[in-house]
Chains A and B, each alone.
Chain A
Amino acid sequence: MTRPPLFTVALTSGLALALEVLLMRLLSIVQWHHFAYLVISLALLGYGVSGTFLAVTQHRLARRYTAVLLANVALFPVTAVACFHIAQRIPFNAEEVLWDPWQLLYLAAVYLLLTLPFFVAANVTALTLMHHRDQMPRIYAYNLAGAGAGSVVVVGLMFLLPPLATLKVLAALGLAAVVAAVWELAAAGRRWVAVAALAGLVVLAWAPIAQRLAVSPYKGLSQTLRIPGTRIADERSSPLGYLSVVESPQVPLRHAPGLSIRAVKGPTAQTAIFTDADNPTFINLDATGLKYLDYLTSALPYHLRPLRRVLILGAGGGADIQQARLHGVGRITAVELNPDVVDIVQSRAPVYSGPPGSPAVDVHVGEARGFVAGAAERYDLIQLALLDSFAASSAGLYALNESYLYTVEALKTYLARLEPDGYLSLTRWVKLPPRDTLKLFATAVAALTDAGLVDPGRRLMMIRSWQTSTLLIKNGEVTPGEIAAMRRFTEPRAFDLVWHPGLQRSEANRFNVLSRPFFHEAAVALLGPRRDQFLERYKYDIRPSTDDRPYFFHFHKWGVMAEILSLRGRGGTPLVELGYLVLAATLLKAVIASAGLILLPLWILRRRRRVESSAPLPALRVFGYFFAIGLAFLFVEIAFIQKFLLFLQHPLYAITVTLTAFLVFAGLGSATAHHRMSVRTPQWIAGAAVAGICVVAGLYLWLLGPLFDLLLAQPIPVKIGVAVLLIAPLAFGMGMPFPVGLLQLGEDAPQLVPWAWGVNGCASVISAVLATLLAIHFGFTAVVLAAMLLYLLAWLSFPLPAAVPTADR
């Protein structure tokens, strides 16, 4: 038997995963991240399509294995660049989806195009699996290890290069894979292929392809660049986000969200930093034009009493720092996730150093919650500004707006670092009908109740402008003096009171008038004895967000869907929570496409079978097994990425480390299974692996929380080491069921091998979306439990157990 082209499989698999991560980044820049999520998850159907395609064509392809494999390896770099390039030219506008049905066609065209590179990459592994049936676990091990390496390499590349250059590097590596494949397969005409690959490299370097990103004209950056005289002064790129620094000397940029309508002056000149062409943060260039900062709702805590030590989470352009300094705060500590943002701010305005004689700001680069958890100091005020750009930067592989900054546990962490009588200040956008402001209030009430306080309302204060709301949680009871100071602050600024102990309904809707004092009524309800009924009956999901269900930005309730749909086109569009519906639509499309991809080849195979012999195909068992492990693998992976996100406290480390560790150790598991085959049956190995996975995953559900608390203060390298050690046994087991099942199938019903590969691919696509939906509604613990059940189900339906010989044996 010849040696399988293992290096080619590993390289192509690695490049496919790298492309997936990169496309997520690219599409987050040109569109919005939930559409990136939709496009990528559907593009991964390429794996399912590959299975279907090979199941149907296997007879013809088997004879031309070398040529077909080489063609697929060669098509990867071509499709990776060309398809993205063409997709960029399709005028898809996410915002118009609700108005214009044509947009759905454009969207379908985009994801069909982006499916192609995944389709050919999947073919490379599947063809090799089919051709070298006796070595399936080994091939699968290289596939997983390659993918693991791919995820590390692409993150590294994205630190060094802009995203489009990274795409070209991946394509260049794809060309290298062609040369490697020719050598591994000992194919004829090696030199010619090498020359062709070199020519491809030259074309890639010089041809005018994919030179500039076509960002949606409706994103913040595109809109700002319409202003005469604006220009991009600097661009920085890293996996944390694509930053564009925009200067506007002719028409000054002026950003002051929630500015009082009674403010006499707005901000003066500013420079903007856009992350992924949206979510701008602004740098005040003129140190004398900062008075406006006292006319924002976030200035409230500075008017209650003198504050000495302030911690600002999410420093961004530095306006919150300047606001603290404006109010005479001596010691300011600021945390910012993206080092490039700190660097840009430092180079453009003396935000951190302050005026001569004032102490410098203590700036930390890191994740906000992790910083607070590890902080030794206590603060008079911890301010969590409008940090939505944080969520955007952490929009990694399978994230849909999860945020660990606004959970019950997070608020408790912040409160623990307050001085007695200190404040935690949280500013949010005001949306109508009220959503996040109320969810935050509910989360604060839950955090205080959790901490054992009987009357949480006595520690809360909340105000609103027409645009922003600021909630203060005090480490102590609110005093009459503070209430008086709060009124002195709000009255001249025309801000409305939402809540303080003893506030009357008639005082809560005076300046920014709503048809009813919705915010105050909701606050009263959330503090009252019928809180649960209120949450139940409210038309949006404003239940407190928790670490297990960290979807602060999720508000959709299925119960009101009919009402919202009936209002579509009748002013009802602002009620739609697009992100969630996109997720649901993605699941629906994935299920429909998968059903087609799974059933079509089965029908064709059965027809052929009927011609050849009367024996039935063991399709149901095969489907049950490969579908269940496809779902379960990603359920476990996604749920534990989330758990480790909290431990490693940096979205980038967490996703890269967890994903790579899962893939590499699963690869090791697969290789080990290969060696164990000589002494154990595939079914025994699958059973042992499933038992191991269930025990370890179950244990982790109980153990990880306390263990993480214990090790939280350790340095990052230690924590990465611990994370890898913890993932190792789980992933090791998870790498076994797929290849041993495939191996068994290869012996008993080889014509079903590509079909099983396709079933597994389709299940993975559904799994990624379904895991997020389950987590949104039931939490990640439920996702892990579901995965354990699915693994058991898989074991029960192990294909063709030795004791039940099939008809064709």
Chain B
Amino acid sequence: MIGLCTLILTAVVHAASVDTQRHRLARDGMLSAIRADYQDTANYIGQDRADPDVLLAMGKVPRHEFVPRGARRHAYANRPLPIGHGQTISQPYIVALMTDLLDVEAGDRILEVGTGSGYQAAVLAALVSQVYSIEIIEPLAEQARQRLQRLGYSNITVRAGDGYFGWRQHAPFDAIVVTAAASHVPPPLIEQLKPGGRMIIPVGTRFMVQELLMVVKDDAGSVTTRQILPVRFVPLTGGH
């Protein structure tokens, strides 16, 4: 009897490890796609390779846990996926680039506006000390909270609510990431950014990021933006 149980247990463990192995391979494929995209777009993003720490973090997060069951076979494809409630999980390359551009450090405190599936928060959590995330759609916030808890992310705090006014209680932040496109950059968020901090906002539609907007607050507190086209494409060909 014990032998049989051991056998079953071995089989289960083996199946699980095969499954993990498969996901690990898929994640490696995803990272290769991200590296290729970086080289392609070096012209605009100003660097031809991703921060190794960011890739390391993305290599650890089980992205398949963050997508709906029906879309799992595409979990590691370099594309956005619908997650219900009219929301999406971003393309891995865009997640990598956004995380990279935030230029975070281990002790940083990050604010995320628009938790969605929680994937971006999970990637950030592997790099910094604390992530605060706000999601306006209550069922999504609840799902993300449970998911992150189940996967053991203890340094992410999720709350349901309006992200326009940031999270004053935990402000200021070293970096802010706004994953849902807005009609403007909310002034309270700029206020809650530390001098020397950065904010990233993808601009476009749910399935097509047109550009990345990076808001930079210099040490003197003066604010400017950088607009980054995440594509290898130079529209001007001279003639001027």
Looking at the complex, which of B60-68, B76-84, B150-158, B167-175 is the stretch in contact with chain A? B76-84
Q: A466, B227: Cβ atoms under 8 Å? A: yes
Chain A residue contacts of B238, Cβ below 8 A: 537
A257-B183, A263-B187, A432-B229 are contacts. A516–B236 as well, Cβ < 8 Å?
yes
- A89 is an interface residue with CB less than 8 A from chain B: no
CB < 8 Å neighbour of B239 from A494, A515, A533: A533
**What total of chain B residues lie within 8 Å of the partner, measured CB to CB?**
56
CB < 8 Å neighbour of B225 from A266, A511, A540, A570: A511
Q: B235, A258: Cβ atoms under 8 Å? A: no
Q: A571, B37: Cβ atoms under 8 Å? A: yes
Looking at the complex, which of B8-16, B18-26, B118-126, B202-210 is the stretch in contact with chain A? B202-210
Q: B93, A571: Cβ atoms under 8 Å? A: yes
Q: A570, B40: Cβ atoms under 8 Å? A: yes
Chain B residue contacts of A254, Cβ below 8 A: 164, 183-184, 186
Q: A538, B237: Cβ atoms under 8 Å? A: yes
- A227 is an interface residue with CB less than 8 A from chain B: yes
Q: B207, A99: Cβ atoms under 8 Å? A: yes
Chain B residue contacts of A616, Cβ below 8 A: none
Contact pattern, A 558-583, Cβ under 8 Å of B = 1, otherwise 0 = 00000110010111111100000000
Contact pattern, A 610-652, Cβ under 8 Å of B = 1, otherwise 0 = 0000000000000000000000000000000000000000000
Docked pose: A536 CA to B187 CA in angstroms:
41
Q: B79, A266: Cβ atoms under 8 Å? A: no
Chain A residue contacts of B204, Cβ below 8 A: 574
Q: B240, A574: Cβ atoms under 8 Å? A: no
Chain A residue contacts of B91, Cβ below 8 A: 571
Min CB gap A57→B, angstroms: 42
Docked pose: A449 CA to B80 CA in angstroms:
46
- Contacts of B167-195 to chain A: CB distance below 8 A: 183-187, 190
Q: B184, A467: Cβ atoms under 8 Å? A: yes
Q: B231, A538: Cβ atoms under 8 Å? A: no
Looking at the complex, which of A300-308, A335-343, A522-530 is the stretch in contact with chain B? A522-530
Q: A518, B211: Cβ atoms under 8 Å? A: no
- A534 is an interface residue with CB less than 8 A from chain B: yes
A223-B86, A256-B184, A574-B204 are contacts. A434–B232 as well, Cβ < 8 Å?
no
Min CB gap B204→A, angstroms: 6
Q: B207, A431: Cβ atoms under 8 Å? A: no
Q: A571, B231: Cβ atoms under 8 Å? A: yes
Chain A residue contacts of B41, Cβ below 8 A: 571
Q: B205, A95: Cβ atoms under 8 Å? A: yes
Q: B233, A433: Cβ atoms under 8 Å? A: yes
Q: A96, B207: Cβ atoms under 8 Å? A: yes
Q: B227, A433: Cβ atoms under 8 Å? A: no
- B106 is an interface residue with CB less than 8 A from chain A: no
Chain B residue contacts of A262, Cβ below 8 A: 223
CB nearest to A431 among chain B residues: B210
Contact pattern, B 40-69, Cβ under 8 Å of A = 1, otherwise 0 = 110110100000000000000000000000
CB < 8 Å neighbour of B230 from A514, A518, A530, A571: A571
Q: A518, B36: Cβ atoms under 8 Å? A: no
Q: B231, A513: Cβ atoms under 8 Å? A: no
Q: A432, B40: Cβ atoms under 8 Å? A: no
Chain B residue contacts of A257, Cβ below 8 A: 183-184
Chain B residue contacts of A263, Cβ below 8 A: 184, 187
Chain B residue contacts of A524, Cβ below 8 A: 240
Select the residue from A95, A511, A564 with max chain B CB neighbours within 10 A.
A95
- B98 is an interface residue with CB less than 8 A from chain A: no
Contact pattern, B 208-227, Cβ under 8 Å of A = 1, otherwise 0 = 11110101000000011111
The 7 tightest CB contacts between A and B, nearest first, are A525-B240, A259-B184, A217-B86, A433-B235, A95-B207, A534-B239, A574-B210
| Sample of 16 more A-B contacts, CB < 8 Å, known A228-B138, A513-B226, A571-B40 | A96-B207, A99-B207, A228-B136, A251-B136, A266-B187, A431-B210, A433-B233, A434-B235, A513-B224, A513-B225, A516-B236, A528-B240, A539-B234, A570-B37, A570-B231, A571-B231
- Of the A-B pairs whose beta carbons lie under 8 Å apart in the complex, a sample of 5, sorted by A's number, is A514-B227, A534-B240, A538-B235, A570-B37, A570-B93
Seen from chain B, the residues whose Cβ lies within 8 Å of a Cβ on chain A are 36-37, 40-41, 43-44, 46, 78-80, 82, 85-86, 91, 93-94, 136-138, 162, 164, 183-187, 190, 203-211, 213, 215, 223-240
